[in-house]
A = this chain, B = another copy of it.
Amino acid sequence: MMKWWGWGSPEVQFPITHKPNLWPWICRELQLDPGASPRGPVSRSSIVLPTPVIHPAFLAALETVLAPGQIARGDDERLLHAYGKSYPDLLRVRRGEVTRAPDVVIFPDSHAEVEAVVREADRHDVCVIPFGGGTNIVGGVNPLDQSGRMVVSLDLRNMNRLLRLDEQSLTATIEAGALGPKLEEDLQRRGYSLGHHPDSFEFSTLGGWLATRSAGMQSDAYGKIEDMVVSLRMVTPSGTLTTRPAPRAATGPDLNQMAVGSEGVLGIITEATMRIHRNPPVRAYHGFVFPSFEEGYAAIYGCAASRYPPSLFRLSDARETELAFQMKGPATGLRGRLEGWFKTYLAAKGYTAPCLMIVGFEGEPDAVQAGRTGAFRILKKQRGFHLGTRVGQSWSREKYNLPYLRDFVMDYGVMADVAETSTVWSNVLPLYRAAKKTLEDRFRADGRPCYLGCHISHTYKTGCSLYFTFSAWMTPGKELEEYHRYKHLITETFVTHGGTLSHHHAVGIEHLHWMAREVTPTGVRALEGLKAALDPKGIMNPGKLIPARPLGATRERAEME
C-alpha cells in the first residue's frame, strides 16, 4: 500500500537533493519564501476515524464465506481506503480530516467470493466501493454515501493472477486486482507484454485501469485500455455479466464498452481477457526540441498520419520544458559548460523557448529503423532538433517521479494538479490556447504567480490528448476553495471549447458537475437506466459518475452555463 498521506511507497521521497536547481527555480517562479519550513501531514496517531457503521447480519453472512483475515476492521486499513490521491484528497488527509471512511475493508480471493460479497451487500443494503491500487485522482474510491448505510471498501489486491494465456490468439486472462508490475512480470516471463504503462503503473491495477478508461504511455502503439479488452466479467447486484471473447460482434450495444469506464457504479470487474503482444526486442526513446509548440504539433500530426507512426509521443510546451530542464541533475565541469554552450547555440538558432519532445519506437529492429527514418524526416522538416537518446532515457527514468514532487511542494503550501482532455486535430491548438490563456489570466488577475505547463500525448487517427499541470501557492486555510476555482475554470474551458471532460482520468466526483453537458441529459438517462437495471438499490460506489441531481435541474443548469 501507498503512504496514507501521499503518493507511493512510504520509504520513497522525491529525490530533491539530486536536483539542485529545482527547488530554487520553483521558489522563484511561484514566489515562495525559500527559507520557509516545510509542514508535513499531521501525525497518524492524531487522526480520529469516524465510528464505523456496522451491519451485524451482513458481517455474520460474510464470515460464513470469507476467512477472518479477509475482513479488516482496523483503523489503519480504513484510513488507507478512505481517499484516493487527488490534491483535495491529500489536502484533507494531511490535515487529518477524515469525515467518512469505509466501515470495513474486504479482501476477496476469487470471483466467487466477490459474487458472494455483492450478493450479501445487496441483500443487506450495504454500499460497496471497488478498490484497486487507490491511485484515483477524481474521488473514485472515496466513501460518499449520505444515507447512513454501511460502506465496504472491496480491495482486489489478492486477485492478481494470470489465469490463462492463449498464445495463438495473443490474449491473456488476468484477475482485476493485478498491479502493473505484477501483471507485466507474469507476462514478460512468458515473452509477452500488455503494453499499458500509465503514470500510476507501479500502484494501479488492471481493474482500476478498466473501470476508469486508463491510457498508458505507449497507447499510440497498443491503444487505450478499452482498445485492448477482449472480454470481461463484472459482478453486479443483478448477477454477473460475462462477455464473449469474440474479436468483434454484432449482438447489440457493446457490453465490454459499457463495463469499461463504469467506475464501480454498475459492478466490480473481477477479470478480463486482454490483447497482448510479444515483447518488442527494441525500445528506443529519442529527445527533440522544437522552436515552438505549434511546430512540434505539426510534426506529431504529420507522423500520426504517416504509415509508421511512433509508439510514443510526448511534446511539452515551453513552460513544461523549462520544468523538465530544472529536473536534471547537476552538470558540472566540462559537461556543464557544454550544456551552457548548447543552450546559447539553440537560442541563437531561434529556439528561445524550446519545446521538448520525447518520441518512442518499439518493435522488431527493422521496423524501428523504418519508423525512425520516416518520423525523423517529418520532425526535422518542422525544425525538430535531435537531442539523441539521453533525454529520452532520463525521461523514461523520471516518469514515475512527478507525483512525489506534488507531496514535496504540498509541504510548502503549494497546490499542484493536472487536467487532461482530448480533441480532434483541427481543435488541438485552439483548445490549448484557450485553456492556457483562461487559466493564466485568472492566476494573473488573482495576483498569484503560477506554473502552467502542458504536453501533447496519446495520438489517434482523428486527434490527440492535451495534458495540463498547474501549480501555485494557496492561501492557508482556503486551499480547497481556491483550488476548486482553478480546477473548475480549466475544466469549464475544455467543455466549452470542444474538448472532452476527461481523456483518461475518469469522472468520479471531481468531474460530475459537467457530465450532463459532456454526454447530454439523454446520455445521463442512459447511464441511470443501466444503473437501475444492474444495481437497483444503488449500493455500488454511490455518488460517482452519474449526477445525482434531478435531470431537469441538470438540463437547466447546462443551459444556464
On whether the beta carbons of A533 and B523 are closer than 8 Å, the reply is: no
Docked-complex contact A242 and B462, CB < 8 angstroms: no
- Is A251 among interface residues, defined by CB-CB distance under 8 A? yes
What 0/1 readout, one digit per residue, does chain A (258-271) give for beta carbons within 8 Å of chain B? Answer: 11111100100000
**Complex alpha-carbon distance, A408 and B14, angstroms:** 76
Q: Which of A524-540 contact B (CB under 8 A)?
A: 525-534
A408 and B437 CA atoms in complex are apart in Å by 68
A458 within 8 A of B: yes
CB distance from A203 to the nearest CB of B (A): 18
In the complex, the answer to whether A530 meets B534 with C-beta atoms within 8 Å is: no
Q: In the bound complex, do residue B169 and residue A462 qualify as a contact, i.e. CB atoms below 8 Å apart?
A: yes
Interface string of A240-265 (1 = CB under 8 A from B): 11111111111111110111111100
Report whether A258 and B258 are in contact in the complex, using a CB–CB cutoff of 8 Å: yes
Q: Is A91 an interface residue (CB 8 A)?
A: no
Among A215, A423, A424, A520, the one with the most B-chain Cβ atoms within 10 Å of its Cβ is: A424
A422 partner residues in chain B, CB cutoff 8 A: 246-249
Give complex CA distance A520, B241 in Å: 6
Report yes or no: A252 in contact with B515, Cβ–Cβ below 8 A: yes
Q: Beyond A520-B241, A525-B238, A532-B532, is A252–B263 a contact (Cβ under 8 Å)?
A: yes
Which residue of chain B has the shortest Cβ distance to A504 in the bound complex?
B250
Contact of A545 among B168, B252, B263, B424 (CB under 8 A): B252
Partner of A241, one of B215, B238, B367, B523: B523
Q: Is the CB of B462 within 8 A of A230?
A: yes
- Per the bound structure, the CA–CA distance linking A266 and B525 in Å amounts to 12
Chain B contacts for A45, CB-based, 8 A = none
Whether the pair B170, A461 counts as a contact (CB closer than 8 A) is: yes
Within 8 A of B (CB), among A480-533: 498-507, 511, 515, 518-523, 525-533
A476 to B372, CA, bound (A): 66
- Determine if B212 and A250 form an interchain contact, defined as CB atoms under 8 angstroms apart: yes
Answer yes or no: A327 CB below 8 A from chain B CBs: no
Contact across chains for B500 and A251 when beta carbons are under 8 A apart: yes
- Which among A275, A460, A526 has the highest number of chain B CB atoms within 10 Å? A526
| Measured CA separation A502–B247 after assembly (Å) | 11
Contacting pair A249 B503 (CB below 8 A): yes
> Chain B residues near A262 (CB, 8 Å)?
252-253
Collect the chain B residues with CB atoms within 8 Å of residue A170's CB.
305, 425, 461-462
CB of A205, distance to nearest CB on chain B (Å): 16
How close is A475's CB to chain B, nearest CB, in angstroms?
31
Question: A305: which B residues are within 8 A, CB to CB?
Answer: 170
A166 at the interface (CB under 8 A from B): yes
Inter-chain contact A253/B258, CB cutoff 8 Å = yes
A506 proximity list for chain B (CB < 8 A): 250-252
Q: How far is the CA of A465 from the CA of B224 in the complex (A)?
A: 24
Please name 8 further chain A to chain B contacts, defined as beta carbons within 8 Å, in addition to the given A171-B424, A236-B522, sorted by A numbering.
A169-B424, A213-B248, A240-B522, A244-B519, A247-B460, A249-B500, A252-B527, A253-B530
Q: Pull 29 A–B residue pairs with CB atoms less than 8 Å apart, ordered by A.
A: A169-B424, A169-B425, A170-B462, A213-B248, A239-B525, A241-B522, A242-B520, A242-B522, A242-B523, A243-B523, A245-B498, A247-B460, A247-B463, A251-B501, A252-B515, A252-B545, A253-B261, A253-B527, A254-B261, A258-B258, A258-B526, A307-B363, A522-B534, A526-B530, A529-B529, A529-B530, A530-B530, A532-B532, A532-B533
